[in-house]
Chains A and B, each alone.
Chain A
């Protein structure tokens, strides 16, 4: 563990001074206490200033972009260009009655939105926002993220099962089978990247890439290029986004697994879904698009460099987020049998092929990227000339 918030802060004198003076004042070692407070403040900032606005603005962006793509105006009443629409929606959600169907399994009904929120929000602990402002660099980074985000699948299934409604159950069953199926190609694509960088921590994964595109894992070799698209399609399906939004297909099932959810519970499901899209885009940016690396490692050891890294990370992630919305409003929904065919007969074999290809590439070319191989052979030829 050589990254993360507290190790980053411990590189500064004022932090060590604060620990010393408070320890002297309270007459015990305050390192743990201070770390706890800093983590708590940082987690609250992340949740209230990053995730909730992203969930809210996600709904706004979705409606505005869909309006643009369909030559409509979209929300334009609340605030300038309708940008406060999500606040109005949120207030409306709070003011709606909380209905529990009569035959429902009440405990599971209450539990499902909570699980969805916890599963998504736990993932941000390891999201590599920048080299210093990541909450914690777990050694099992991406493995932890994949494991925790599969709680959402359980939440979708329980949310479909609990209210004893047929539409919900259909949506929940579809959702569960879709999410678990598409987890396989996603995990195997991630395995290919882990193989190339030699570690599961985001510190290693992002650190073995560079700022400019030729040092990204996307262009490392042909197999990773394919793996990115496999990952992205799988991520779309895991987040129940169109063209894979079968669990909540509004023209077949009324609203899928959250048919019976009203008010705040529905709001939590929606928030979890939008934040999950953000998290999956962030993972794609970190694994394939160089993450927070800034070209030329500008201001690397300066605190301002952290801001540049944040900018690079959010730019890449939000561009991918735009692509996700764009795809949703461009492609029609596919059928259930097509969904399973795409997953098991196309994406999974391609992902396995990519993994074997990456292992062979690692063995044959010693893990060098295709650009460096071409460049070095060019240098070799030039130096051999004289």
Chain B
């Protein structure tokens, strides 16, 4: 560690501040330069020239939420894999690679069996319900 050890995340904070500055600066420019002639029809949401019917915030296809759920499971598992794989090499260098390998494989097996379950249940198909009803 060098004597210049400062908070390592300082550059990240600087970048965030800079980006927020750029975005606000762009808006500031457009406030001064852009015209302001909003009319009633201009500010309606675009619906191919018709007046919009109802709200857009309504019920939505449940498939998107199922995808979200599957993602959460896989995401957590892949996050848990990161520390394991980043020490795998040093375990291997210590001559204990077999132990680490078996643990990785057990973990992967759980991950893959979860995925196989989703696949078998048809949750990976985009259009699921119609096919199933025809079969039954």
Q: Which residues of A contact B (CB under 8 A)?
A: 1, 5-7, 10, 31-32, 35-36, 39-40, 42-44, 47, 93-104, 113-114, 117-118, 121-122, 124-125, 135-136, 138, 143, 161, 163-169, 173, 176-177, 180-181, 183-184, 187-188, 191-192, 194-200, 254, 259-260, 263-265, 267-268, 336-337, 340-341, 344-345, 348-349, 352, 355-356, 359-360, 362-363, 366-367
Task: Identify the closest chain A residue to B30 (Cβ).
Answer: A264
Pick the residue among A7, A113, A125 that contacts B2 (CB under 8 A).
A7
Grouping DSSP codes into helix (H, G, I), strand (E, B) and loop, the A interface class, with mixed when no group exceeds half, is: helix
Q: Min CB distance, B54 to chain A, in Å?
A: 9
Pick the residue among A44, A265, A345 that contacts B119 (CB under 8 A).
A345
In the complex the two chains form, is B18's CB within 8 Å of A268's CB?
Answer: no
In the complex the two chains form, is B23's CB within 8 Å of A195's CB?
Answer: no
Known: A125-B11, A138-B9. 12 other contacts (CB 8 A): A6-B2, A36-B10, A97-B37, A99-B42, A99-B43, A121-B18, A122-B12, A166-B56, A197-B89, A254-B46, A344-B118, A363-B92
Q: Min CB distance, A368 to chain B, in Å?
A: 11
Q: Min CB distance, B32 to chain A, in Å?
A: 9
Pick the residue among B1, B64, B104 that contacts A176 (CB under 8 A).
B64
Give the 10 A-B CB pairs with smallest separation, nearest first. Answer: A198-B89, A337-B126, A165-B45, A195-B85, A121-B19, A180-B71, A344-B124, A264-B30, A264-B26, A135-B11
In the complex the two chains form, is A336's CB within 8 Å of B34's CB?
Answer: no
Interface residues on B, range: 35 or more
In the complex the two chains form, is A352's CB within 8 Å of B33's CB?
Answer: no
Residues in B whose Cβ lies below 8 Å from that of A173: 60-61, 64
- Complex CA gap A345/B5 in Å reads 46
Known A102-B43, A166-B45, A355-B108: A195·B35 in contact at CB below 8 Å: no
Pick the residue among A121, A165, A177 that contacts B56 (CB under 8 A).
A165
Residues in A whose Cβ lies below 8 Å from that of B30: 93-96, 98, 263-264
Pick the residue among A93, A136, A356 that contacts B11 (CB under 8 A).
A136
Residues in B whose Cβ lies below 8 Å from that of A197: 89
In the complex the two chains form, is B2's CB within 8 Å of A10's CB?
Answer: yes
Task: Identify the closest chain B residue to A268 (Cβ).
Answer: B23
In the complex the two chains form, is A47's CB within 8 Å of B68's CB?
Answer: no
Pick the residue among A32, A42, A181 that contacts B67 (CB under 8 A).
A181
In the complex the two chains form, is A184's CB within 8 Å of B85's CB?
Answer: no
Q: Min CB distance, B90 to chain A, in Å?
A: 6
Known A1-B8, A47-B22, A181-B71: A124·B15 in contact at CB below 8 Å: yes
Please name 7 pairs of A and B residues whose Cβ atoms are closer than 8 Å in the assembled complex, sorted by A. Answer: A6-B4, A7-B2, A35-B10, A97-B35, A183-B75, A195-B88, A341-B126
